């Protein structure tokens, strides 16, 4: 009797989460379009009579200990990646960020200073190394590049000398200038003999990506649109590149042309860079004639 009563008294509770549903309408406090580096300037590029609005949350810059999985550390770490490629990259050495372990940020005078502990990976040999880095993002007006210092352990272990020398000797003679396009292609594919030119394009792009980086950008090279080898000069291989950079925070594809030199001794140097204008008229459907 008592048992039955007890059991009957117990009501199995099933908890259903009933989330509060709040649907906000489109109106809200006006958000300033200030200082977003990728914002479209008001009215200059407008082709309409209506006001063009860039609605961006003004980013509050993190200070103190950074969460390694949050974007401020990741963006700064990617800048370190670009820096390392400008210093150490080659047709057989291309470095990518593997993991952010820890970081901190602080305001120093007008500038923003980051300290990071990272794992970087050289993706051709798959060798990883631990890096400590310090970055300074310049504040105020002007578009000067961030300053980076980094020291890594174990990252540059792979012996690329033989491959680099072979590649260099293969291409330094003037009788067969190489060129290529769409590397990788739409399917992510590239011919094996194009790979070192892909790496070289990526390393050369790092010079641009480093210079263009700030706390509101995250750059990767999306593709080598085309490259053309030029006559070797002063013992340097010379290549003209047209690269597509993907800037993640604006999602834009940005076209750059660069003149690159390389030799095993001198490393990668970028002699000229030229930003290509974005082609708005290229967007019409393929079978319309405009």
Partner 1 sequence: MMMLGLGSVGLVLLSLAVQSGHGAQDSAVWSREETTERNYYTRYHNMSEITAWMEQMKRENPDVVSSMVYGQTYERRNITLLKIGLRSTERKKAIWMDCGIHAREWITPAFCQFFVKEILRTYKTDTKVNEMMKNLDFYITPVLNVDGYIYSWHNESTRLWRKSRSPGTGGCTCYGTDLNRNFYANWGMVGVSTDCCNLFYCGTKALSESEAWAVTDMLGKMREDILAFLTIHSYGQQLLVPYGHPNTTAPNHDELMEVGLGAAMAIKAVHGMDYTVGTSPDILYPFSGSSQDFARLIGIPLSFTFELRDKGEHGFELPEDQIQPTCEEAYAGAQHIITYTHDKAFYSYAATVTATLWTTLLAAWVSSAILL
The three-class DSSP label of residue 179 is strand
Least distance between partner 1 and beta carbon 287 (Å): 10
Residues 80-99: x/- map of binding to partner 1 (CB under 8 A)? ----------------xx-x
Cβ closest to partner 1, residue 176 vs residue 289: 289
Scan residues 192-211 and list those touching partner 1 (CB under 8 A): none
**Adjacency order of strands within the sheet including 219-233:** 179-183, 219-233, 236-247, 252-263, 267-275
Scan residues 224-253 and list those touching partner 1 (CB under 8 A): 244, 246, 248-253
Q: In sequence order, which residues have a C-beta less than 8 Å from that of residue 123 and are 6 or more positions away?
A: 94, 95, 96
Phi, psi values for residue 276, rounded to 5°: -95, 140
The three-class DSSP label of residue 149 is strand
Stretch that binds partner 1, among 16-24, 85-93, 109-117, 269-277 (CB under 8 A): 16-24
Phi, psi values for residue 193, rounded to 5°: -75, -10
Least distance between partner 1 and beta carbon 172 (Å): 28
The distance of Cα 50 from the centroid of its chain, to the nearest Å, equals 33
How many residues touch partner 1 (CB under 8 A)?
72
Least distance between partner 1 and beta carbon 111 (Å): 23
Least distance between partner 1 and beta carbon 198 (Å): 10
Give CA–CA dist 43/24, Å, rounded.
29
Cβ closest to partner 1, residue 60 vs residue 173: 60
Cβ closest to partner 1, residue 142 vs residue 286: 286
Q: Is residue 10 near partner 1 by the rule CB under 8 A?
A: yes
Give CA–CA dist 233/271, Å, rounded.
13
Are residues 227 and 204 in contact, defined by beta-carbon separation less than 8 angstroms?
A: no
Least distance between partner 1 and beta carbon 193 (Å): 16
Are residues 229 and 204 in contact, defined by beta-carbon separation less than 8 angstroms?
A: no
Q: Choose, by CB under 8 A, the member of 21, 109, 162, 173 that binds partner 1.
A: 21
Give CA–CA dist 186/224, Å, rounded.
12
DSSP string, 59-118: PPPP-EEEPTTSHHHHHHHHHHHHHHHHHH-BTTB-EEEEEEEEEEEEEETTEEEEEEEE
Stretch that binds partner 1, among 85-93, 103-111, 142-150, 182-190 (CB under 8 A): 182-190
Q: Is residue 1 near partner 1 by the rule CB under 8 A?
A: no
Least distance between partner 1 and beta carbon 133 (Å): 18
Least distance between partner 1 and beta carbon 130 (Å): 16
Least distance between partner 1 and beta carbon 96 (Å): 6
The three-class DSSP label of residue 287 is coil
Residues 110-129: x/- map of binding to partner 1 (CB under 8 A)? -------------x------
Stretch that binds partner 1, among 152-160, 214-222, 232-240, 256-264 (CB under 8 A): 214-222
Task: Return the closest-CA partner of residue 208 out of 75, 79, 39.
Answer: 79
């Amino acid at each position: 009797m008592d048992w039955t009563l007890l059991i009957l008294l117990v009501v199995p509770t099933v908890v259903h989460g009933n989330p509060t549903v709040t649907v906000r309408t489109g109106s809200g406090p006006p958000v300033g379009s200030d200082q977003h580096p990728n914002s479209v300037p008001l009215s200059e590029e407008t082709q309409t009579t209506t006001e063009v609005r860039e609605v961006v949350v003004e980013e509050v810059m993190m200070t103190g200990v950074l969460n390694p999985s949050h974007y401020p550390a990741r963006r700064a770490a990617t800048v370190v990646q670009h820096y390392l490629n400008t210093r150490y990259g080659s047709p057989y050495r291309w470095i990518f960020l593997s993991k952010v372990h820890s970081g901190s940020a602080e305001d120093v005078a007008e500038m923003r200073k980051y300290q990071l502990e990272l794992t970087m990976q050289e993706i051709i040999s798959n060798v990883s190394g631990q890096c400590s880095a310090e970055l300074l993002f310049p504040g105020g007006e002007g578009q000067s590049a961030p300053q980076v210092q980094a020291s890594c352990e174990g990252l540059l272990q792979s012996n690329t000398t033989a491959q680099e020398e072979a590649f260099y000797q293969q291409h330094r003679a003037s009788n067969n200038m190489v060129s290529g396009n769409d590397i990788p292609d739409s399917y992510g594919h590239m011919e094996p003999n194009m790979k070192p030119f892909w790496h070289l394009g990526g390393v050369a792009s790092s010079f641009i990506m480093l210079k263009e980086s700030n706390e509101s950008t995250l750059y990767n090279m999306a593709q080598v649109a085309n490259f053309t080898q030029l006559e070797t000069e002063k013992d340097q291989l010379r290549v003209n590149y047209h690269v597509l950079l993907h800037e993640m925070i604006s999602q834009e594809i940005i076209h750059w042309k660069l003149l690159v030199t390389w030799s095993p001794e001198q490393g990668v140097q970028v002699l000229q860079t030229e930003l290509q204008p974005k082609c708005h008229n290229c967007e019409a459907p393929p079978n319309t004639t405009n």
